[in-house]
Chains A and B, each alone.
Chain A
Amino acid sequence: MQASRARLFKEYKEVQREKSADPDIQLICDDSNIFKWTALIKGPSETPYEGGVFQLAFAIPEQYPLLPPQVRFLTKIFHPNVHFKTGEICLDILKNAWSPAWTLQSVCRAIIALMAHPEPDSPLNCDSGNLLRSGDIRGYQSMARMYTRLAAMPKKG
């Protein structure tokens, strides 16, 4: 408990100092609970998620950094490795491949990388995975772009 709190305080200070260094990621700590964070990440360019802003929720366990944080999408996203309803993310570093050297910032970068390089072989979204596995790249991109426009872009008017 004490070690995780101290570690999170250091990460918080790092985030404050590096605000302008990584414009694609914005990490926000809850005012009253240092074990609750949210993040806003930009959809990577040259992907169907480009132009969208996606919100993530972090629930950090007491054993952090020995155990990984639990992360999920709050914004709807059409991605093979993200559960459409719950926002759960299938990413190895958030499970068995976790290492204490990872930070919340680096987790966000890994998620952005996942958006650019989906892995259809372990899908949480079957429709999306099936499109990719059957080679319908255009269909997948079209659906992903539509959902990005619907859920991840600020509405006009």
Chain B
Amino acid sequence: MGDSSVAGALVPSVPKPEPAPSGDTSAAAAATTAALAMPEEAGMRAASASPQGPAEEGEGPADRDLLCPICMAVIKDAFLTACGHSFCYMCIVTHLSNKSDCPCCGHYLTKAQLYPNFLLDKVLKKISAQQIAKTASPIDQFRCALQQGNEMGVKELDSLMTLIAEKKRQMEQQESETNMQILLVFLHCLRKQKLEELNEIQTDLQYIKEDISSVERHRAELYRTKERYSMKLRMLLDEPTAQKMWPSPIDKASCRFLPNSRTPLSGSCPGTLQNKKLDLKAQVSHQGFQRRDALTSSDPPNSPIQSGNVIARKRRVQAQFNELQEYYLQRRRTGAQARRQEERDIVAMNREGYHAGLQDFQSVLTTFTRYSRLRVIAELRHGDLFHSANIVSSIEFDRDDELFATAGVSKRIKVFEFSTVVNEPSDVHCPVVEMATRSKLSCLSWNKYSKNIIASSDYEGIVTVWDVQTRQSVMEYEEHEKRAWSVDFSRTDSSMLVSGSDDCKVKVWCTNQEASVINIDMKANICSVKYNPGSSFYVAVGSADHHIHYFDLRNPSSPVHIFGGHKKAVSYVKFLSNNELASASTDSTLRLWDVKDNCPVRTFRGHKNEKNFVGLSVNNEYIACGSETNEVFVYHKAISKPAASHRFVSSDLDDADDDPGSYFISAVCWKSDSPTMLTANSQGTIKVLVLAP
């Protein structure tokens, strides 16, 4: 009866496997094979799986009667006690090894009074099978039907297997199509990206090709008109002298500079050689031959110098090739927008066929490769041997670059004559003028019109205007409540000066009145202030809030623009031109800004500056700054890495107790439109440095 009822329950579920997924269908097929091959093993597997079913489901109190009171699972190997309770054999035997009672009623019980209950075993197996049949998924039912060896014809099996195989094929095809689709999308994106890169590279190559053609035509023209080239070269020789491009008191230095001025045209050759990889040696020979011919009539002994110079410049180009390449492509893509009058004059003969970007790059390349190091031409040691604190906070040239003034923690303003310092070999130079101050000084600024007027800012917040000739203070402004860090005379209005202080105020003064003309309240300490050289209304303010605030003094309530990008206090701001602003910060970077378009131009890295005022000075092409490594660094304004550097060597004369590594450069100042500059460090040593090849 039981067997027949089980068979009856399974027969109607045979058609259900039809919608089964292919994965499980494959498993079912494998199970079929296993069942057919080893029916006993299949039967055992089914039996071992079944007891867990009812325990998992547990429906209603009726099922609890099927559970062993000790292990709470379906009874396995049911054994009956003398008092009539049923347990798993293993559970009751384990219990009786501890105690001699029935767990349910406590009646006395021993192992000898246990009896197998075969009927209960069979009933439990049947009930488990029924539970599985009731709750199993169609797949499980199908698998049980196959395992049970249900009466099924060969034709029916073939039909089922055909359905299963078709289902499997469809699902595999679907998955394959999906994978192909994903791969196709990826490949399309990749091709699009690579095409964009290819277009960009092709455009760059086109630029380079055009420039190579232009330079080639230019060189051919030069070769054809050798005589005219010689004449123009002679004109170039006269031009710097006439314009005083390189005024210098040292005759030797002047002689050394002149050959450099003759080579701006050849400056493009290294770039060309870099852009054109082939025929490098041939071009070198050709260039040498041409140069030798050109110079034969004037000065034959200079040929070796020129040759060495060209080699050195090529080495410099190679060393900074990546930087130059980046700058070249940048200028070429956007096109040069501004050219100075001097550049136009020099490049006039090359205008034919030249792109503006190429002209701009050529001038940068020429200037950049001209110098590679800083040479000391004079050294000035402070005469105050008795002062332990000799930091020079500020060093400035006057209007005509004839005098320079120094000031710092020594509470003295000293004015020296530049030519005397450079020309005379005495060990201790005497200042032309020396004025004692009440407090330590932080900044100096010469008046741009009156030659004898200089302003200073000090640690007590007092801004003082001095007359160098009478050695007296002309005016003292005492409104700042804390240390004043910076002061600057306007270039266009010589009676106006601006100062910044730790009291978070920027004040504008007039030499004709004692009270401040304009007061700007800001939220952070002011580290530096600077007038725009082309206007008496615009002032740049470097602040401890990491920003540069650019003010129009006609509306001082809010800045025209705020330049952000530095990560620490802005210690210096200087103008290279009316539109170019350089800033220094204790985040060890310099930044160049365009104050007309209000955008950042470039960031310069290489020096170290984390806490001190190390000095910042700019001229038309170069930016100089100090470093906390006791070195002076010079950057070309178009290249982010240093072009030259010089290390101050610490002397042990009076500093045996100090740590040599703690010295830093504290002030720098360019001589106007010249490669010469003044530098000073925290020991009080002052050096005159000049850019050299």
Interface of A toward B, CB cutoff 8 Å: 3, 6-7, 10-11, 14, 17, 65-67, 97, 99-101, 103
| A99-B101 CB under 8 A given contacts A17-B58, A66-B94, A66-B95 | yes
Asked if B15 lies at the interface with its beta carbon under 8 angstroms from chain A, I say: no
28 A-B residue contacts at CB 8 Å? A3-B71, A6-B71, A6-B73, A7-B70, A7-B71, A7-B72, A10-B55, A10-B72, A11-B72, A14-B72, A17-B58, A65-B70, A66-B94, A66-B95, A66-B98, A67-B98, A97-B106, A99-B104, A99-B106, A100-B69, A100-B70, A100-B91, A100-B95, A100-B103, A101-B70, A101-B103, A101-B104, A103-B72
Residues of chain A lying within 8 A (CB to CB) of residue B94:
3, 66
Decide: A101 and B98 in contact? CB cutoff 8 A: no
Q: Judge whether A101 and B69 touch: CB under 8 Å.
A: yes
Query: Lowest 5 A-B CB distances belong to which pairs?
Result: A101-B69, A100-B70, A99-B103, A101-B103, A10-B72
C-alpha spacing A6/B67, complex, angstroms? 14
Complex alpha-carbon distance, A67 and B103, angstroms: 12
Give A98 to B71 CA distance when docked, in angstroms: 15
- A14 cross-chain contacts in B, Cβ below 8 A: 72
Interface residues of B in 398-419 (CB under 8 A from A): none
Q: How many residues of B sit at the interface, in one of the four size bands?
A: 10 to 19
A65 CA to B73 CA, complexed, in Å: 13
User: From DSSP, what is the main secondary structure of chain B's interface residues?
Assistant: loop
Task: Tell me which residues across on chain A come within 8 A of B55, comparing CB atoms.
Answer: 10
How far, in whole Å, are A11 and B69 apart by their CA atoms in the complex?
12
A6 to B217, CA, bound (A): 94
Residues of B within 8 A of A11 (CB): 72
Closest Cβ neighbor of A65 among chain B residues: B70
Chain A residues whose CB sits within 8 angstroms of the CB of B73 once the complex forms: 6, 10
Residues in A neighbouring B104, C-beta threshold 8 A: 99, 101
Chain B residue numbers with a CB within 8 Å of A67 are 98
List CB contacts (< 8 Å) of B86-141 with chain A: 91, 94-95, 98, 101, 103-104, 106
Bound: A11/B73 CA distance, A: 11
Kindly name the residue among A6, A11, A100 whose own CB sees the greatest number of chain B CB atoms within 10 A. A100
Which residues of B53-73 have CB atoms within 8 Å of chain A's CB atoms? 55, 58, 69-73
- With both chains docked as a complex, state the minimum distance between the C-beta of B85 and any C-beta of chain A, in angstroms: 9
B residues near A (Cβ < 8 Å) are: 55, 58, 69-73, 91, 94-95, 98, 101, 103-104, 106
Closest beta carbon of chain A to B132's beta carbon, Å: 19
Chain B residues whose CB sits within 8 angstroms of the CB of A7 once the complex forms: 70-72
Q: Smallest CB–CB gap between A112 and chain B, Å?
A: 21
A11 to B91, CA, bound (A): 16
Interface centre among B58, B103, B104 (most CB of A within 10 A): B103
C-alpha spacing A65/B106, complex, angstroms: 15
Given the complex of chains A and B, what is the CA–CA distance between A7 and B91 in angstroms? 11
Residues on B with C-beta less than 8 A from A66 are: 94-95, 98
Residues of B within 8 A of A65 (CB): 70
Residues of B contacting A17 with CB < 8 Å?
58
A101 / chain B contacts, CB cutoff of 8 Å:
69-70, 103-104
Q: Which of A14, A67, A101 neighbours the largest number of chain B CB atoms within 10 Å of its CB?
A: A101
Complex Cα–Cα for A66 and B70 (A): 8
| Shortest Cβ distance from A102 into B: residue | B103
A41 to B91 alpha-carbon distance, docked (Å): 31
CA distance A66 to B73 in the complex (A): 16
User: Measured between C-beta atoms, what is the minimum distance from A113 to chain B in Å?
Assistant: 18
Min CB–CB distance A99 → chain B (angstroms): 4
Residue of A nearest to B73 (CB): A10
Q: Which residues of B contact A99 (CB under 8 A)?
A: 101, 103-104, 106
Contact residues in A for B91 (Cβ distance below 8 Å)? 100
- Report how far A97 CA is from B106 CA in the complex, Å: 8
List B contacts of A103 (CB < 8 A).
72
Q: How far is the CA of A103 from the CA of B94 in the complex (A)?
A: 18
**Docked complex Cα distance between A67 and B95 (Å):** 10
Name the residue of chain A whose CB is nearest to the CB of B56: A13
The interface residues of chain B lying within 8 Å CB-to-CB of A6 are: 71, 73
A14–B58 CA distance with the chains assembled, in angstroms = 9
Q: How many whole Å from A43's CB to the nearest CB in chain B?
A: 28
Instruction: Kindly report which residue of chain A lies nearest to residue B94, judged by CB atoms.
Output: A66
Instruction: Give the nearest-CB partner of A99 in chain B.
Output: B103
Q: Nearest-CB distance from A145 to chain B (Å)?
A: 36
The CA-CA distance from A76 to B89 in the complex, in Å, is: 43
- A14 CA to B73 CA, complexed, in Å: 12
Residue of A nearest to B85 (CB): A101
The residue in A7, A67, A99 that gathers the most chain B C-beta atoms within 10 A of its C-beta is: A99
Contacts of B71 in A (CB 8 A): 3, 6-7, 10
A65 to B95, CA, bound (A): 9
- CB nearest neighbor in A for B69: A101
Docked CA distance A7–B104 (Å): 17
Closest partner residue, chain A, to B71 (CB atom): A7
B91 — nearest CB in chain A belongs to which residue?
A: A100
5 new A-B pairs (CB below 8 Å) besides A14-B72, A97-B106, A101-B70? A17-B58, A99-B103, A100-B91, A101-B104, A103-B72
Closest residue of chain B to A14, judged by CB? Answer: B72
In the complex the two chains form, what is the Cα distance from A14 to B104 in whole Å? 19
Chain B residues in 8 Å Cβ range of A3: 71, 94
How far apart sit A97 and B103, CA to CA, in the bound complex (Å)?
Answer: 10
A117 CB → nearest B CB, Å: 20
A120→B476 CA distance, assembly (Å): 102
Q: How far is the CA of A85 from the CA of B73 in the complex (A)?
A: 39
Q: Which residues on B sit within 8 Å (CB–CB) of A97?
A: 106
Q: How far is the CA of A66 from the CA of B97 in the complex (A)?
A: 10
Q: How far is the CA of A17 from the CA of B70 in the complex (A)?
A: 19
Chain A residues within 8 Å of B101, by CB: 99
Question: How long is the Cα–Cα vector from A143 to B298 in the complex, in angstroms?
Answer: 126
Q: How far is the CB of A77 from chain B (nearest CB, A)?
A: 29
Min CB distance, A25 to chain B, in Å?
18
Q: Report the separation of the CA atoms of residues A28 and B91 in the bound assembly, to the nearest whole angstrom.
A: 26
Q: B177 to nearest A CB, angstroms?
A: 44
Residues in chain A near residue B58, CB distance under 8 A: 17
Bound: A3/B71 CA distance, A? 7
Closest B residue by C-beta to A13: B58
Shortest CB-to-CB span from B118 to chain A, Å, is 24
Residue of B nearest to A17 (CB): B58
Kindly state the separation between the CA atoms of A148 and B257 in the bound complex, as whole angstroms.
104
Cβ of B90 to closest chain A Cβ, rounded Å? 9
Q: Which residue of A lies closest to B97 (CB)?
A: A66
With both chains docked as a complex, state the minimum distance between the C-beta of B83 and any C-beta of chain A, in angstroms: 13
What is the CA–CA distance of A104 and B552 in the complex, to the nearest angstrom? 84
Q: How far is the CB of B463 from chain A (nearest CB, A)?
A: 67
User: Which residues of chain A come closer than 8 Å to B98, judged between CB atoms?
Assistant: 66-67
- Residue in chain B with minimal CB distance to A98: B99
In the assembled complex, the CB of B62 is this many whole angstroms from the nearest CB of chain A, namely 15
